[in-house]
Amino acid sequence: MAKFAAGDFVRVSGRGFEYTGTVMPSQDENITILKLENGYNVGIVTKRIKKPHIIKRAKQSTPVLSKVKSKSGLPKITIITTGGTITSRVDYKTGATHSLTKPEELIANIPELTKLANIKIISPFSQWSEDLTPQDFQRIADTAAVELNKGASGVIVTQGTDTLHFTSAALSFMIKDLSKPIAVVGGQRSSDRGSFDGAQNLICAVHYCLSHIAEVAIVMHANTDDDYCYALRGTKVRKMHSSRRDAFRPINCLPLAKIDPKKGVEILAKNYNKRTDKTVKADTQLEPKVVLIKFFPGLKSDIINYYIDKGYKGIILEGTGFGNIATDTWIPTLENASKHAIICMTTQTLYGTTNNHVYSAGVREEKAGVIHCNDTLPETAYMKLMHLLGTNKNLNEVRKQMTQNLVGEINARIEKNSFLY
């Protein structure tokens, strides 16, 4: 039987199967792993392979990367990479992913970028997005502000998609006087798959950073094809699917812009902040002792006492419907807790708004000191309260600001056609 190595492109067959793909490293010599042309991996018991055929041997040479030279006349874009699949590639010899932290590596993967801007890459850290901490949000915000003030036309932040909307909300609140675009970008599919979406997302993010919009936005695929991307306001967006390339959707609003990777930006929003020459400031103080709690039938109010006893300063609740909880058992607990922490209510429906005047339960919540946050998304309310508590010691002022629109997180009116957009 022909022997093949990691990186070889092969066709293997046996009783009841035939596969064509690239050989991946395997920790078990009894299992052969192939990366199929559709991007998925398949494991095959090696002794079941009866007819192996090597179509193409793996290249042993290391690719030569050309030094990226700045082109006069092109704007400067800074990409802050923090991990995730969007700026990584697979090494088929080892099976490991390699982060692209040098401009020449990124350009080799996505050469179209050189026609749009001069790219600078900064990698302050690299980790899974679910491992991000408030300190990481602060580092990203500080780095973005410095780069914008040093002359970058815009900043792109790349990371894993699972917490992309937390990052976009955090940056929206922490960066003051934002005068240029910030795009927060991820990839739902890895770069070794034919359905890799990161290249288009990055190209569209560069277009967004050259636009007249001066807001934090998530820039991702608008549909499952490679037609165009949407720029979605950083405080009104959420990941609504675990794997689809168009997983990020605007909530209670329309996209800021539609971005064609070849034609550029078409602004859709009627109201948006426009690019200026103002100096950007980063106000990155965050109160880490804020928690987000999802209410469900049967949840005991003891959980509130637990966090109060632990010294938490803020609690964001995801209530049902208009922002409801089990009033008879929860109201006394919330009334006491509101003396020690700021308690806010959002709705777990995401679409729509809280309303404490529809049912008597809402009125009782208000009397107990619970603040209804209108149509602020739960994750956005979480980042907002962390920021306000970190930057303002006047708790009455914080309570007031939680009901006010600061950076587009609260709509005065929700457009009907924004539902499931």
Q: Please determine, looking at this structure, whether the domain spanning 76-282 carries the CATH number 2.40.10.10.
A: no
The sheet with strand 118-122 has its strands ordered as 118-122, 76-81, 154-158, 182-185, 216-221, 229-233, 257-260, 264-267
Looking at residue 29, its pLDDT comes to: 81
Pick the catalytic residue from 162, 226, 260, 283: 162
What is the tally of helices (H) and strands (E) in the chain?
9, 23
Q: Output Rg (C-alpha) for the chain, integer angstroms.
A: 24
Assigned fold of 9-56:
SH3 type barrels. (2.30.30)
CB 336 within 8 A of CB 301: no
Residue 85 designated active-site: yes
Burial state string for 389-416 with b = 16 or more CB within 10 A and e = fewer than 16: bbbeeeeeebbebbeeeebbbbbeeeee
Bridging pattern class, strands 9-14 and 154-158 = unpaired
- Label residues 363-379 b or e (16+ Cβ within 10 Å = b): ebbeebbbbbbbbbbbb
Closest to 370 (Cα-Cα) out of 341, 329, 328: 341
Residues 255-269 have pLDDT tens digits of 999 999 999 999 999
**Span 326-340, pLDDT tens digits:** 988 999 999 999 999
* Annotation says 87 is catalytic: no
Question: Which of 246, 214, 254, 249 lies closest to 227 in space, CA to CA?
Answer: 246
Q: How far apart are alpha carbons 106 and 99 in whole angstroms?
A: 9
**The pair of three-digit structure tokens given for residue 14, joined into one six-digit string:** 């046996």
* Active-site pick, 85, 333, 347, 380: 85
Give residue 103's pLDDT.
61
Report pLDDT for 105: 72
Q: In Å, what is the CA distance from 415 to each residue of 169, 208, 313, 326, 381?
A: 21, 24, 34, 30, 21
Domains 9-56 and 76-282 are alike in CATH topology: no
The pLDDT of residue 7: 83
| Catalytic one of 236, 239, 258, 384 | 239
CATH architecture assigned to 290-401? 3-Layer(aba) Sandwich (3.40)
Note whether 328 and 295 are within 8 A (CB): no
What pLDDT score was predicted for residue 196?
81
* Residue spans of the chain under pLDDT 70: 1-2, 60-67, 87-103, 191-194
Domain ranges across the chain:
9-56, 76-282, 290-401
Using DSSP bridges, classify how beta strands 154-158 and 76-81 pair: parallel, antiparallel or unpaired. Answer: parallel
Beta bridge partners of 20: 11
Give the whole-angstrom CA distance, residue 369 versus residue 197. 45
pTM: 0.87
Catalytic residue among 158, 161, 163, 333: 161
Q: Would strands 229-233 and 257-260 be described as parallel, antiparallel, or unpaired?
A: antiparallel
